[in-house]
Structure 1
């Protein structure tokens, strides 16, 4: 056991080896990281590039911003520089990095400055770091430069330090995936001196920069951030090296963070803080949002903010989760225990006095129930107003009339019913009627109506049933207490009833959504054709999302629109570009994504177990998809991808079966050709050789026998080749049967005479009806069919005579060829007309090619007739093959001849 443990410890980490193998397929990213502009990042890049260029390395400058620095511009001399792309942006011509030119040039290394730069609106990607990711995916090594303040997780910290907001930001995952991070450092005092000397900005810009940003305290703090982040990166690289080489050492911490967010603006601050904490601890982290089980559809702004927060978390390297539950604390703790979380990060908002008095905050509730897990509270900034908890819901004046009317109506009914009862009997608990009114209002109109009904009930009960009546005065103290208890009970009961109603409504909505997905799944399970799957899917998408939808599939190497709703939808050039990107990169593209965000549609790949099978697109509107729509979309896309994959596999299976059948036919044909050609050729070759070598010494009878053998085998070869040609014509559909008047008796006699020449020892009997009419057909094809049937009877009919009958049966002319051989088993009666099907002789050898009867069926059907086999034919033996031809036209010909 100890030896086994040592062996396991000596093995490299498989995940680390897999990551190392994946790095070999991509280009490498080198980031020159600095604390602030002017520390010399671009200078260091170009200096290193010139050294590699002198060594013969294929290195190209894609884009470098010199900012007017002469010493930096001088380093560009002698380097290959790609031309910039001119872009018209708001009436101005901008010179931007030409991504397509870089991909076409495909150097070994390309220098692309300013990693955090934002591209113009109509560019393929909104950010330059996304251009660089595409270059890396193409196998090109990229050098770039970045200032520490542009990291997403540090943007708020830098804004607090420098007092300047950071507009252009880069996700931390970009720096985390960099293969090499080079810190370009300069002491703050020296940087300020360079700024004053005009080596960083021009004179006017330099003065403003010193006053606003380039202050000693700011630069020192930024330098510390850059040094810390570079140290973390070096530590990550060291850990990766240890894992890849199975070296025991100081491993990274096993901390794991859980970050709780909501749909408010403060959640983005919580995510950035958690990102910095996770980076400092070198720990994985999970971002979770918990929604209530009885949640109704929220406002679009909250949904949009939540989606933005999730995208930010994913950019910073977090794993995201959505959980449904009623008890937030319980759900957080269950997830924390399941994921082995060691620390929880949660936002803490400043609350008003009434909020602290009547409601416990989520951080306080969490702290009171958690055990063994650290809690980090991320507080608001001072400029954020405190949260005011509202016990009563905010009413919409225009939309509140319905619940108020229902509440007033139910209370009025309770008053009328109570007064009616008091005419007959005095009851001490008449107040229960008003409690019933509150419950009815809550059930049919929600919590607003419940609260309103409770207030109306207090007033109505006091006015009509508490002495002195018809006034709002209360004479007895116990009546005051009873009225207060009634109000509290009514509010609680109404709240509970309204919550039950909301939960039932939410459950009903989820049931409708589940039923729709179930019906869609059943529809797909019963659909085998790809077109039916696509139209069912696009219809379901449009009905669920209430947006235009489109499905695209690859065909002959090109992505094509296969189904759309509305059906006349046409995709623009930009839409097709985004769709191809989603298919190739297997990631979303288009509106609302990082690739071509200004087009109308958003495209997502349809992923199956075998990879991307197509692309799903939907038109974006003013508001993004909400949570329920996202879930429905994901379910529809998954089922559609599986159905498309199943349809394609079914089609491929059928094609493969057809190929196997064709291969079987080819094998049978080659086997038949090799046998049927070799036998007559061997006979002819032997006879010719004997005549050439022994011709003068052979007697005349022997020579005649050899010549007869040559003639017979040559005729056999001729028939064999003719059968192959006839079969080829039938397969190609080029058999053109003439529609001449044919005398069947003449064709039968000619076929019999021909057969007697080939089979001189065979007895052939004919029986032709005297009143047999003419038929429409091709005498040559009919004669060939009769000869093939006689040839088949000669092979399998034994020594008994062959009988040919021609007669008239109702509306058909019937021709039959009968032999008295062994016969055909019932299961083979239909198969004998298949290509290459042959019945063996008693010695086990299958004569012929198995094409004669198949050719006969093709010729008969070309003339409008039918052919069939019957066995036994006579005296429980033999086979009869019959042909039927219609005589409708034949009777017309008889009248014309008469």
Structure 2
């Protein structure tokens, strides 16, 4: 019976299982607080495995002076710690490199939330553990519930103690086993009093602050709840992997809005807890109003830290830009199928509420079909009046004052010709000028100043702010409204125009970069283009490294650079091997001066790009531009690599074609003379005494002819191999070309005694600098070619003359000739001209050898056909005469 599609195992669950199988196994001993016995439980289990023959090592364990815990270390191999110098003292840290080199089956690494010493490869110990797991080593570790990142603020609210060392929730979620080590609060306090948790002085302070029954009970509940949630997740994974029917959780999706507020991280943690409790996916989005300046750099830093926290907690990160943020948030929620929105509510001052809308209030009012969660941190205090920060820059205030002053002066000048109501146009023009140049804030200030200036100087009674006539009050009020509205609209258009201009500039930059990449033919050109363009975009430095034979090599940098520091090399290799960013601003080797990002193509990671932003850092728009540049770079690199692969494939195909042609020709040209020789030898051996003398002579002549033919064929192959050698060095000497040609013709007459050769050599030929043996072989090959392609009764002409400081050798035959399209190709290896009967002679090496030798001597060789009456071929060789021997 066919299985229902609905009952098939979940692909996501199977992929998750496969990823776990490829890594080492992580077992976390989780406790509600220090002293519950996590380390004791780990070491006890390790000793049992050691007794069973398992390769177990203690990478790092903190005993905190507990004798019973220290006693469990006996019999276990302990990894030496790595000393690190820090502030005139030596810290003993876990040596991850030694652990990777030792590579045990199981390693114990205590205190997962520990912060490593500066200049370590990873800032946090849990990252060391991740590297061990990626290497296939099983790890046991210990963790207290207060160090789970999404719960750190909850723990701080319960205990009043801020937790600085935290571990991302994803580490706990990816653990293969979580063991809760639990005892009652009373037992724990009793252990504390007995000195089994801390030394006496520390124990007294802990009992007064942290180890209170209420605190311990709350922490115990958090640990048990988190473990229960994990057990539920494991059950769901098992059901999905095994296609077992059951009630699945509904597909909730949460959006958390991240702003520059001081409590934005608390909002993110609240959203993380909500998403974890609902088994829901979630997105953290920063809202960036269009037209607003970058603002307070500390606020932008808070935004970046909150987004990084959200990413560590498992959220997808996005950035939204719009003028109407509530509308954009709701539009994004509909587009991404968001079901719940988490917002932070700040108790803004009366002034801020007067000039702007509250995001949480607007979203709550406009939302339909969404659950809205508004988070108000406990630490948020009642609003205290503070003078508002200036909305616009001082230059905009000054510009508004100057513009109104100029408008007032012009109005005084035009007062003799224009009625007072018409003078308001000067002030309106000043408002529009400020709006167009400095934005909405400057326009509103100019409108207010214009209102008072116009009233004070031009509305009776003059030089007072009193208005005598009602219609003048109405006119002045209308003027103020018109000025404010037109100024606001004009300023908004200007701000939108500036934002559009920035986007056009970025789009044009990306377009120009794309065009530049499309015109690059080599990977070096691609890398230099991306290095210069990216450095310009981030107003800093860029370096590009590619992997060659497993090692990174610097291929391009802007400004030009041919070396980087040791920290940068380590970060670059980490980014390459782990396919994630490392270096400056990340959690891996943050002390490096560059942030390295992998260049990932469909064939894998081919290299990394290092970025070192300028003093201003990277804004959200810069980040998007850099990501687009990197994406285009990976496409261009893949294109050039594919082009190289295609060229190699074409070369291999051509090589295969030539190899097939060579094997075919060699087999034919070897088989024919060998068959003749074998037949002649067999006949002479079996019938030699019975054959007439003439028949024996004929067979011996055939053996001699075919042997000479084989010798010529082998000579051609050896000459071709010699000419194709990368370091060809010809033997050069002063030789008489006339003597060489006479020797070649005499050798040809011995080989072809029935063929007629007409030789014409001009008198007084100068000596040339060359290899006599190879030159004779050239002429012999040309004679062979002429005899092969001409009738038996035809003659071959050989002429030698000197003309224009060149010795010209011409070998002509009376054959059927060469087609015009083949005149150049006849000098290619293994190319043979088809005859009228469709057959071709030879292996196609003779003329190729001739061209190679002549060109090596600095000469040239060409073919012409037909030469007379539509028939015949002439091969012409031109060899320059050296100046020293020209006379």
SS where residue 876 of structure 2 aligns? strand
Q: CA separation in 2, counterparts of 1:405 and 1:35?
A: 61
Mark the runs of 5 or more structure 1 residues left unpaired by the alignment. 894-898
- Residue 430 of structure 1 aligns to a residue in which SS? helix
Aligned residue in 1 for 2:556: 563
What is the deviation of 1:713?
2.1
CA distance in 2, matches of 1:623, 1:242: 51
Residues 435-457 of structure 1 show CA distances to partners (whole Å, capped at 9, x for unaligned) of 22211122123344323322332
- Structure 2 distance, partners of 1:860, 1:354, is 93
Does the CA-based 8 Å contact 2:115-2:123 persist in structure 1? yes
**What is the match of residue 77 of structure 1?**
74
Establish whether residue 299 from structure 1 lines up as the match of residue 292 from structure 2: no
Taking the aligned partners of 1:378 and 1:289, their CA distance within structure 2 comes to 16
Residue 774 of structure 1: how far off its partner (Å): 5.2
Deviations 1:20-78 (A, max 9, x none): 11211111111111111111111111111111111112222111111111111122222
| Separation of aligned partners in 1, 2:310 and 2:188 | 34
Residue 801 of structure 1 corresponds to 794
Residues 358, 799 of structure 1: CA spacing in aligned structure 2 closer, same or farther, 3 A cutoff? closer
C-alpha change, 1:368 and 1:828, in structure 2 (3 Å) is same
Q: How does 1:274-423 map to 2 (within 5 A)?
A: 274-353=271-350, 355-356=352-353, 359-386=356-383, 393-394=390-391, 400=394, 402-423=395-416
Judged with a 3 Å threshold, the aligned counterparts in structure 2 of structure 1 residues 652 and 356 are, in CA distance, closer, same or farther, namely closer
* Residue correspondence of structure 1 range 100-119 to structure 2 within 5 A: 100-119=97-116
In 2, the alpha carbon distance for the partners of 1:408 and 1:632 equals 38
**Structure 1 pair 466–20 and aligned structure 2 pair: CA distance change class (3 A):** same
Distance, in Å, in 2 between the alignment partners of 1:708 and 1:75 is 98
1:773/1:168 Cα in 2 relative to 1: closer, same or farther (>3 Å)? closer
Query: Are 1:736 and 2:730 matched, yes or no?
Result: yes
Q: 1:296·1:502 contact (CA, 8 Å) conserved in 2?
A: no
Q: For the residues of structure 2 that align with 1:350 and 1:476, how far apart are their CA atoms?
A: 44
3-state SS of 1:209 partner: helix
Give the direction of change, closer, same or farther, for the CA distance of 1:188–1:579 in structure 2 (3 Å limit): same
Residue in 2 aligned with 1:162?
A: 159
Instruction: Give the Å deviation of 1:610.
Output: 2.5
Q: 1:678 to 1:737 in 2, by over 3 A?
A: same
The reply to whether residue 462 of structure 1 matches residue 483 of structure 2 is: no
Q: Alignment partner of 1:431: what SS? A: helix
The whole-number CA distance in structure 2 between the counterparts of 1:135 and 1:371 is 48
String of CA shifts for 1:256-308, please: whole Å, max 9, x gaps.
Answer: 21111211222111111111111122221111122223233333222211111
CA contact (8 A) 1:775 1:890 kept: no
Structure 1: distance between partners of 2:520 and 2:385: 55
Aligned counterparts of 2:835 and 2:450: Cα–Cα separation in 1: 104
1:851 lines up with 2:845 in the alignment: yes
Q: Does 582-591 or 668-677 show the bigger shift?
A: 668-677
| Matching residue of 1:444 | 437
Cα distance change, pair 222–873 in 1 and its aligned pair in 2 (3 A): same
Give, in whole Å, the separation in 1 of the partners of 2:681 and 2:884.
Answer: 50
SS of residue paired to 2:155: helix
Alpha-carbon separation, structure 2, partners of 1:814 and 1:864:
13
Corresponding position of 1:197: 194
Match of 2:61 in 1: 64
Q: Which residue of 1 aligns with 2:214?
A: 217
Stretch deviating more after TM superposition (359-368 or 601-610)? 359-368
Q: After TM superposition, give the deviation of residue 701 of structure 1 in Å.
A: 3.0
Secondary structure of 1:816's aligned partner? strand
Residues 59, 387 of structure 1: alpha-carbon distance in 2 compared, 3 angstrom cutoff: farther
Distance 1:482 1:668 in 2: 99
Deviations 1:509-552 (A, max 9, x none): 22122211211111111111111111111111221111121111
In structure 1, C-alpha distance between the alignment counterparts of 2:361 and 2:483, rounded to whole Å:
30
**Does the 8 A contact of 1:800 with 1:819 survive in 2?**
no
Cα 1:161/1:758, change in 2 over 3 Å: same
- Superposed CA offset, 1:99-133 (max 9, x none): 01111111222111111011001100000110111
Q: Distance in 1 between matches of 2:464 and 2:370?
A: 60
Using the alignment, how far apart are the partners of 2:292 and 2:450 within structure 1? 29
Task: Provide the secondary structure at the position in 2 that maps to 1:114.
Answer: coil
Segments of structure 2 that go 5 or more residues without pairing to the other structure are none
With 876-885 and 116-125 compared, the bigger mean Cα shift is at 876-885
Using the TM superposition, name which of 230-239 and 653-662 deviates more: 653-662
Residues 1:577 and 2:574 aligned together? no
Give 3-state SS (helix, strand or coil) of 2:64's partner: coil
In 2: Cα distance, 1:875 partner to 1:386 partner: 110
**Distance between the aligned counterparts of 1:289 and 1:524, measured in 2?**
32
Q: Retained in 2: the 8 A contact 1:63–1:111? A: yes
> Do the aligned partners of 2:192 and 2:203 also contact (CA within 8 Å) in 1?
yes
The counterpart of 2:24, out of the listed 22, 27, 36, is 27
Q: CA deviation at 1:476?
A: 3.2
Distance 1:355 1:631, change over 3 A: closer
Distance 1:498 1:323, change over 3 A: same
* C-alpha contact 1:821 1:879 (8 A) present in aligned 2: yes
Cα deviation for residue 232 of structure 1 reads 0.4
Query: How do 1:525-604 and structure 2 match up within 5 A?
Result: 525-568=518-561, 570-604=563-597
Q: 1:831 maps to which residue?
A: 825
TM-score scaled by length of structure 1: 0.94
Residues 800, 809 of structure 2: 8 Å contact kept: yes
Aligned to 1:259: 256
Contact 2:796 2:814 in 1 (8 A): no
Note if contact 1:776-1:889 (Cα within 8 Å) is conserved in structure 2: no
Provide the secondary structure at the position in 2 that maps to 1:808: strand
Deviating more after overlay: 18-27 vs 881-890: 881-890
Deviation of the 1:741 alpha carbon: 4.2
- CA gap of 1:113–1:702, structure 2 versus 1, over 3 A, is same
Q: 1:195 to 1:841 in 2, by over 3 A?
A: same
Structure 1 position 357, deviation (Å)? 5.9
Following the alignment from structure 2 to structure 1, what is the Cα–Cα distance between the partners of residues 137 and 289? 48
Residue in structure 2 matched with residue 822 of structure 1 by the alignment: 816
Q: What residue in structure 1 maps to residue 508 of structure 2?
A: 515
Contact preservation (8 Å) 2:781, 2:850: yes
- Displacement of 1:237 in angstroms is 0.5
Tell me how far apart the structure 2 counterparts of residues 297 and 466 of structure 1 sit (CA, whole Å).
Answer: 42
Distance 1:371 1:864 in 2: 86
How do residues 434-833 of structure 1 correspond to structure 2 at under 5 angstroms?
434-568=427-561, 570-620=563-613, 624-732=617-725, 733-744=727-738, 746-769=739-762, 775-808=768-801, 810-811=803-804, 812-833=806-827
Per-residue CA deviations over 1:737-793 (Å, capped at 9, x if unaligned) read 53424152x333322221121112222233344565555544433322121111111
Deviation at 1:622, TM superposition (A): 5.3
Distance, in Å, in 2 between the alignment partners of 1:754 and 1:318 is 87
Match of 1:250 among 243, 247, 252: 247
CA contact (8 A) 1:764 1:801 kept: no
Residues 888, 379 of structure 1: CA spacing in aligned structure 2 closer, same or farther, 3 A cutoff? closer
Please identify, of 576-585 and 344-353, the stretch whose mean Cα deviation from structure 2 is larger.
344-353
Q: How many Å apart are 1:158 and its aligned residue?
A: 0.4
Distance 1:743 1:792, change over 3 A: closer
Find the partner of 1:864 among 851, 854, 858: 858
For the structure 1 residues 388 and 489, does the alpha-carbon distance in structure 2 shift closer, same or farther, using more than 3 Å as the test? farther
Shifted more, 406-415 versus 606-615: the winner is: 406-415
- 1:211-245 per-residue CA deviation (whole Å, 9 max, x = no partner) reads 10111000000000000000000000000111111
CA contact (8 A) 2:351 2:388 kept: no
Q: Deviations over 1:570-626 (max 9, x none)?
A: 201111111111111111111111111112111111122322221111225555411
Contact 1:17–1:244 (CA<8 Å) still a contact in 2?
yes
Rounded Cα–Cα distance in structure 1 between residues aligned with 2:384 and 2:818: 94
Q: 1:896 maps to which residue?
A: none
Is the alpha carbon distance of 1:151 and 1:857 closer, same or farther for their aligned partners in structure 2, counting shifts above 3 Å?
Answer: same
In 2, are the aligned partners of 1:411 and 1:456 still within 8 Å (CA)? Answer: yes
Is 1:882 paired with 2:882? no
Alignment match, 1:99 = 96
**TM-score w.r.t. structure 2 length?**
0.95
- CA change 1:121–1:203 in 2 (3 A) is same
